Amino acid sequence: MIRSMTAFARNQASRPEGEFIWELRSVNHRYLEMAIRVPEELRSMEPKIRERLQQRLKRGKVDVNFRFTASANPQTSLQIDQDLLQQLFAAAQRIQQQMPQAAMPGVADLLRWPGVLESPPQNIETLQATALTLLDTAMDELLQTREREGQRLVQLIEQRLTAMREQVGRAKQRIPAVLTGVRERLSQRLREITEQLDQDRLEQEMVMLAQRLDIDEEMDRLHTHLDEVQRNLQKNEPVGRRLDFLMQELNREANTLGSKSIDTETTAASLEMKVLIEQMREQVQNIE
């Protein structure tokens, strides 16, 4: 299924350990590029995050932002560093002996001292397992969004493929009329130059001119490239780069058609093709 490279996903969940928030944002890019931000205490799981992204994404610039807030009311009780508390109390007593006017610190003051009140250590492995499971859910949402956007891109491109085929048919229908007109103008010009018209010479000139104006090959290649674009849109794999190459080929043939044209309608068809190709190219830039 065709996927866009532009999408956003967010997954927020509350667990006994705390609050987990994943935010994934992707935009178009030539390759797969990842920018990952996680809390320092969970930095060790970054390689696993990269591995998960690489398994499911092939192209795009992906910003990954993970935030974790530990629960304010853990299931286990808080721990007090008794040794540090005794040291602080002894130090306060010594200060009061030297400075009787100084007030002894209260219980709240002692508990606020760094290191006295300790939260129970979190199990890092458990946190990582929970976080990665939630990341998978966020990835599911991201891919679903990319697929929905991809289907919209396919519809837009197919509309322009249809318009391209109409322009190719329009240019092809003009070929007989263009050659007839060229023949008549050339004959008239030769009559003005000489009374004795060399019919054989005229036929030779017409053959050479017809060869220079022949656009059958361009028409055939345009049809081939359009068919190839349609086939790639049906593939269940990343095809963005291949489609981008086909846009270049289509543009080359449209340019050649325009350079060979001596007819206003054919020139107009060539210009319209180039506009349609540019519109498709803009859409293709977002396809994975």
CATH code: domain of residue 59: 3.30.230
Both 159 and 104 in a single domain? no
In a domain, 104, yes or no: yes
Residue 258 domain boundaries: 149-284
Both 102 and 170 in a single domain? no
CATH code: domain of residue 186: 1.20.140
- Please tell me the total count of domains within the chain: 3
Both 190 and 96 in a single domain? no
Both 170 and 278 in a single domain? yes
pLDDT, tens only, 23-57: 999 999 999 999 999 998 889 999 999 999 999 99
Both 166 and 205 in a single domain? yes
CB–CB of 21/66 below 8 Å?
yes
How far, in Å, CA of 207 to CA of 259, rounded?
19
Both 240 and 191 in a single domain? yes
In a domain, 1, yes or no: no
How far, in Å, CA of 122 to CA of 101, rounded?
43
In a domain, 248, yes or no: yes
In a domain, 49, yes or no: yes
In a domain, 241, yes or no: yes
Both 226 and 187 in a single domain? yes
Instruction: Describe the crossing of helices 124-193 and 264-284 by its angle, rounded to 10 degrees.
Output: 170
Both 141 and 157 in a single domain? no
In a domain, 247, yes or no: yes
The amino acid sitting at 53 is: L
Both 94 and 197 in a single domain? no
Token pair 């449209």 is found at: 254
SS3 assignment for the chain = CCCECCEEEEEEEEECCEEEEEEEEEECCCCEEEEEECCHHHHHHHHHHHHHHHHHCCCEEEEEEEEEEECCCCCCCCEECHHHHHHHHHHHHHHHHHCCCCCCCCHHHHHHCCCCEECCCCCHHHHHHHHHHHHHHHHHHHHHHHHHHHHHHHHHHHHHHHHHHHHHHHHHHHHHHHHHHHHHHHHHHHHHHCCCCCHHHHHHHHHHHHHHHCCHHHHHHHHHHHHHHHHHHCCCCCCHHHHHHHHHHHHHHHHHHHHHCCCHHHHHHHHHHHHHHHHHHHHHCCEC
Per-position pLDDT tens, the chain of length 288: 899 999 999 999 998 888 999 999 999 999 999 999 999 888 999 999 999 999 999 999 999 999 998 876 544 556 777 787 788 778 888 887 888 777 777 777 776 777 666 655 567 888 999 999 999 999 999 999 999 999 999 999 999 999 999 999 888 887 777 667 666 766 666 666 555 556 666 566 556 555 555 677 888 899 999 999 999 999 989 999 999 999 999 999 999 888 877 778 888 989 999 999 999 999 999 999
End-to-end CA distance of the chain: 10
Both 155 and 196 in a single domain? yes
> CB-side exposure of 176: number of CA atoms within 13 Å?
2
Both 197 and 173 in a single domain? yes
pLDDT, tens only, 59-100: 999 999 999 988 765 445 567 777 877 887 788 888 878 887
> CB-side exposure of 15: number of CA atoms within 13 Å?
18
Q: What pTM, to 2 d.p., does this model score?
A: 0.72
Both 211 and 241 in a single domain? yes
In a domain, 2, yes or no: no
